[in-house]
A and B are shown apart, each in its own frame.
Chain A
Amino acid sequence: MTRTAELLRQHLIDPEICIRCNTCEETCPIDAITHDSRNYVVLADKCNSCGDCLAPCPTGAIDSWRRVAAPYTLEQQFGWDALPVDDSGDGVVAEVPDEVTQLTAVANQGQGGLLPPPWSAAHPYVGLYTLARPATATVSGNLRLTAEGAESDIRHIVLDFGSMAFPVLEGQSLGVIAPGADANGKPHHLRLYSVASPRNGERPGYNNVALTVKRVTADREGNPVRGVASNYVCDLKKGDKLLVAGPYGASYLMPNHPGSNIIMICTGTGAAPMRAMTERRHRRMALKEGGKLLLFFGARTPGELPYFGPLQKLPKELIDVQLAFSRVPGKPREYVQDRMRASGATVARLTADENTYVYICGHKQMEQGVEDAFTDLCSSHGTDWTGLRAQLRAAGRYHVETY
């Protein structure tokens, strides 16, 4: 399985089946299809997957897709006699449901689309378990992370896969399949949760993973709603079984080479991948591989900051933890971007180092503030953030997952 199995779902036309009838090119509302004397091809940077071309195609050639790290160029596609072999599975078929791809695409908007993973990322498995063939996990722990009085209920859930292989890397997510059906009788949507534990298990050597799940009780506008999957997961008791699909994600992965630095910027349950990466490094401290960890973590109050206690106990030589609280009575509101500005020199120095990788995870609202902070601290250190960000993206050094 390639590590890039869901980086980009590229729309292609099967040249073996296509009869060059021109219907797709005629139909496409945004002129994203063109042809030469050999093949009809889709312009990867233009196609928005609207699907208008699918039904009119008489042959089905138009309904061809490949998950790729970098899109096939027009020249490559014009030269094809047949589609390239779909090698997104080393003997294992990766099935990534469309809704997972869509969720990932939305989550990755902030980084400007799908990007490559760090060069030293480990090889991820993607889509081993599907909606049709899910894995069964047993709940081996369910712990409230937020303080008793806190407004939000964020939980640390530990799932055990028993003898079932569920290899998952820091930064990857898994899909929870809530039982039952919605009001229209349709199965509930798959919900994705980032794993909060490192690759060798929440408890080293055990086949288990941890999730950080917030019980959803209101929608974005603050109206009361009951999140189906989050409430289902938060209410699970030790010993309960649940169905899981995945793993998913082949880009938001940590670097593994010695000396690599990681800047982590998160809010709320966006802490999950940060905790996983931090734990990975924590467990390998004795190897003295070097590399700095810098964490900017925001919450309303300390009581609502998941893993607040354990974070305090991490060795200073492992990680520089910068916490920002926006609703502490009697104190000015502080956000992650404020802590970033306060550490401006460190951030600027680290981002200039090609061994530094940036990870952002949390609410969509944090994006703009983080962008502004990067822009300011870069300009005050004589660099241009827009140019730097483009370099970081291209090198798989800048990863955003916001929701």
Chain B
Amino acid sequence: MSINYADKIPNNVELASNKTLQRALEHWQPGYLDWWGEMGPEGSPNYDVYLRTAISVDAKGWAHFDYVRMPDYRWGIFLAAPEKDRKVNFGAHKGEAAWQEVPGEYRSTLRRIIVTQGDTEPASVEQQRHLGLTCPSLYDLRNLFQVNVEEGRHLWAMVYLLHAYFGRDGREEGEALLARRSGDADNPRILTAFNEKTPDWLSFFMFTFITDRDGKFQLAALAESGFDPLSRTCRFMLTEEAHHMFVGESGVGRIIQRTCEAMKEHRIDDPAKLRAMGVIDLPTLQRYLNFHFSVTSDLYGSEVSSNAASSYTNGLKGRFDETRIDDDHRLEGAEYPVMEVIGDRILTKHVAGLTALNERLRDDWVADVQAGIDRWNRIPAKYGVDFRFKLPHKGFHRRIGAFAEHHVSPEGAVLSEADWTSKHREWLPNEQDRAYIQSLMGRVVEPGRFANWIAAPHQGINKQPVNFEYVRFN
């Protein structure tokens, strides 16, 4: 499964043996590079960045570290090794051999799934393109760029599937993926959360911790797909996605650590005084957490969804850890609890498990986010600081699904419009919060130095020291 770097497009899918596909992708490549030049990390073209590049997809080869001039990063097409005699593992086709070609009747559904996933990848690069100018350290700058190039590669992964299996329609979708722009009024990205701004590094860390984790769960569900090329593509993407969540979780963790250090050292917990010292008070972090959690929660869609049911029954998108779940993998007669708002109360009702797959995936994601929050909470505990982060209620600040028409407090109380209006500023980042965070965003690029509001990491990347020159500006 080694990767062919001799080709214009590095790949492990024997691209050279399919000239039509190779030409199509080589035709798409300049458009991609133009997009990267226009919408990729601002001001970065001359930087040499200490990046991880996959040189093969097995355990030994996919984490190869060296300096790379970013536009020369070898974006390519890598699929995880095929699993011998893989089957469709769920739904009506359970037990059939996994499909190596797109089944005609699922063509449009699969295309939509792939386009939706693919669209998030360039979107996040666009959202993050200005962050390099305000990095809190060379280490963080490098991590940002690593995330960016890998999101770019994930776009390649999806475009490969579109070109290889969806003909003209697929090629057109490939072009459209380069044409949409995050936050653009006329031609926005498909999903709302990917049109939000990522204006500062706290947002970036929250995004990679929470929203890239949505990516993990979506990719994991698609990695179960009966369409084998999609499964293999997503399996390899998952390995890369892990780094993104690491950047987010450790990033916020380091902010918490820095704040706790200041609180202990100066024996203060007044947010105003902490802000005067240039660190980020914990309640502000909680508000950012509330925001990103609720916005990302919407990405899973409605609690009850017939689309989700048919994607499952048709073998296109499974559950998280599908093959490890011990049940019939058809969900015949299965039920699943979902919440609904009745009057001023939130009640739980049981619906057919098949229709609640969005909610189930959301719940898996919530549990995973919660585990991360638990780890964050060990930091104040360690410093003897009496503060714990808490995930807001699933109904808090939602725009999609059963809570879309309601206001729900972080504790899960249904609120009147008036109550929400008077209180929501305590729960979501307000203008002062955003302005304060923005005021902290300076640029620190001296190796080994870190902005005052964030602690140095535990260890460097690839066992390099923390003060390693992760980016050379030339």
Minimum CB distance partner of A53 in chain B:
B59
Q: Check if A58 is an interface residue, CB within 8 A of chain B.
A: yes
Q: Which of A281-298 contact B (CB under 8 A)?
A: none
Contact A19 B378 (CB under 8 A): no
- Which chain A residues border B59 with CB–CB below 8 Å? 27, 29, 52-53, 55-56
What is the 8 Å Cβ interface bit string for chain A, positions 73-92, against chain B (1 contact, 0 not)?
00000000110000000000
Q: How far is the CB of A85 from chain B (nearest CB, A)?
A: 14
Chain-A contact segment, one of B111-119, B243-251, B267-275, B290-298: B243-251
Q: Check if A37 is an interface residue, CB within 8 A of chain B.
A: yes
What is the 8 Å Cβ interface bit string for chain A, positions 52-64, against chain B (1 contact, 0 not)?
1101111110010
Q: Check if A23 is an interface residue, CB within 8 A of chain B.
A: yes
Q: Check if A93 is an interface residue, CB within 8 A of chain B.
A: no
- Which chain B residues border A59 with CB–CB below 8 Å? 246, 250
Q: Check if B368 is an interface residue, CB within 8 A of chain A.
A: yes
Complex CA distance for A26 and B63, rounded to whole angstroms: 15
- A-B interface, 5 closest residue pairs, ranked by CB to CB distance from nearest: A21-B242, A52-B59, A55-B63, A58-B243, A58-B246
Contact A81 B242 (CB under 8 A): no
Contact B63 A19 (CB under 8 A): no
Q: Check if A20 is an interface residue, CB within 8 A of chain B.
A: yes
Minimum CB distance partner of B249 in chain A:
A19
Q: Check if B28 is an interface residue, CB within 8 A of chain A.
A: no
- Chain A contributes a number of interface residues (CB within 8 A of B) equal to 24
What is the 8 Å Cβ interface bit string for chain A, positions 8-52, against chain B (1 contact, 0 not)?
000000011101111100110100000001100000000000001
Complex CA distance for A56 and B459, rounded to whole angstroms: 16
Question: Which of these, B62, B216, B459, contacts A60 with CB under 8 Å?
Answer: B459
Contact A19 B62 (CB under 8 A): no
Contact A58 B378 (CB under 8 A): no
Complex CA distance for A30 and B212, rounded to whole angstroms: 28
Q: A17-B458, A37-B371 are in contact. Are A23 and B60 (CB under 8 A)?
A: no
What is the 8 Å Cβ interface bit string for chain B, positions 351-393, against chain A (1 contact, 0 not)?
0000000000000000110011011001000000000000000
Question: Which of these, A20, A37, A58, A60, contacts B463 with CB under 8 Å?
Answer: A60
Q: A53-B59, A56-B59 are in contact. Are A23 and B372 (CB under 8 A)?
A: no
- Which chain A residues border B249 with CB–CB below 8 Å? 19
Q: How far is the CB of A177 from chain B (nearest CB, A)?
A: 24
Q: Check if B239 is an interface residue, CB within 8 A of chain A.
A: yes
Minimum CB distance partner of A29 in chain B:
B59
Grouping DSSP codes into helix (H, G, I), strand (E, B) and loop, the B interface class, with mixed when no group exceeds half, is helix
Question: Which of these, A20, A26, A63, contacts B239 with CB under 8 Å?
Answer: A26
Q: Categorize the interface residue count of chain B.
A: 20 to 34
- Which chain B residues border A17 with CB–CB below 8 Å? 250, 458-459
Q: Check if B238 is an interface residue, CB within 8 A of chain A.
A: yes
Minimum CB distance partner of B64 in chain A:
A55
Question: Which of these, B242, B368, B371, B458, contacts A58 with CB under 8 Å?
Answer: B242
Among B59, B243, B245, B459, chain A packs the most CB atoms within 10 A around the CB of: B59
Q: Which of B46-84 contact A (CB under 8 A)?
A: 59-60, 62-63
Among B63, B246, B372, B378, chain A packs the most CB atoms within 10 A around the CB of: B246
Contact A52 B60 (CB under 8 A): yes
Contact B238 A26 (CB under 8 A): yes
Complex CA distance for A81 and B382, rounded to whole angstroms: 10
- Which chain A residues border B458 with CB–CB below 8 Å? 16-17, 60
Contact B250 A81 (CB under 8 A): no
- Which chain A residues border B371 with CB–CB below 8 Å? 20, 37-38
Complex CA distance for A56 and B250, rounded to whole angstroms: 17
Q: How far is the CB of B253 from chain A (nearest CB, A)?
A: 9
Can you add 13 more A-B contacts, CB < 8 Å, to A16-B375, A19-B250, A52-B59? A17-B250, A19-B246, A19-B249, A19-B372, A20-B368, A21-B241, A21-B242, A56-B242, A57-B242, A58-B245, A58-B246, A81-B378, A82-B378
